[in-house]
Structure 1
Amino acid sequence: MSEEGRDRFEIPKEMRSMAEASFDQARKAFEKFVSSAQATAGTIEEKGEAVRAGAKEISTKAISYAEKNVQASLDYAQSLLRAKDLTEVMRLHSEYVQTQMRSLAEQASEMGQAVSRAAMDAGRAAMDAAKPKD
């Protein structure tokens, strides 16, 4: 092809318009994709907060229960030191065991509820993050 032929080559107006329209559609689709990805990342971050809050609640409860149980054991040991006879030791032991059994059952129930809430929140967060955004 001569230089003159190359210089005269033009993309037909209809093809140029079609290419520009396709490019605009591609740009809009990409912008929508980026926007959706950013929204999803934000949602995951927000849901991560919910999961972290659940984990924090569980660890706070566990520490609180450990403190209560250690304190109860120390109180029990101190009361044993003050016992006057074997009958009082047996009574103190019986009271301690009964109290601790009730306390441990209550703690296990509360911890189970906290773990269930955290698991449900994590599940909801995962489901929400997986939902396509409009």
Structure 2
Amino acid sequence: MNITQPSFEVPADMRDFAEKSVEQARTALIALMQNARRATESLQAQTKTIELPASVAYVHGLELFEQNLAAAFEVAQKLVRASSLQDALQIQSEYVHAQFATLQSQTRELASAAQPAEAA
């Protein structure tokens, strides 16, 4: 008995719509992050807290969030362009592995950044 795998084909117009939607979401979130950064910088300048450990940690956290957000949008763009279910699963698997390693690295980085603050 020969079992064939069903075809996974996304119509071109649906793929284009999804790609545009991902790009619009990326643009909106980048604008949101820029506004959050400007608001943070303005607040820090007004309150003169720019060098306090909590402020430094917050800004660093925003940077890490931006990196993770960029990675998520990159994988979303790849998924939109996937030509088969197998490709989509491979893209997702690679993303999960890479993001797990990134999160481990970021955790170590944040932990080492917090140590001087605890010692003070």
Report TM bin, short chain: 0.5 to 0.7
More helix by share: 1
Shift of 1:115: 1.1
Separation in 2 of the partners of 1:105 and 1:92? 20
Partner of 1:82: 81
Partner of 1:99: 98
Separation in 2 of the partners of 1:86 and 1:78? 15
Can you list the C-alpha shifts for 1:64-114, whole angstroms capped at 9, x where unaligned? 011011111111111000000011111101110011000000001100111
Separation in 1 of the partners of 2:56 and 2:111? 12
What is the identity, as a one-letter code, of the residue corresponding to 1:79?
Answer: K
* Maintained 8 Å contact 1:57/1:114: no
For this pair of structures, how many residues does the alignment match? Answer: 73
Separation in 2 of the partners of 1:109 and 1:61? 13
Percentage of identical aligned residues: 28
Structure possessing the higher relative contact order (Cα contacts under 8 Å, 6 or more residues apart)? 1
Partner of 1:115: 114
Separation in 1 of the partners of 2:53 and 2:87? 43
DSSP-derived class of the 2:52 partner: helix
Higher radius of gyration, 1 or 2: 1
Report the TM-score, using the length of structure 2 for normalisation: 0.55
Q: Are residue 65 (structure 1) and residue 64 (structure 2) matched?
A: yes
Report the TM-score, using the length of structure 1 for normalisation: 0.50
Unpaired runs of 5+ residues, structure 2, are 1-47
Aligned-residue CA RMSD in angstroms? 2.1
Separation in 2 of the partners of 1:61 and 1:102? 18
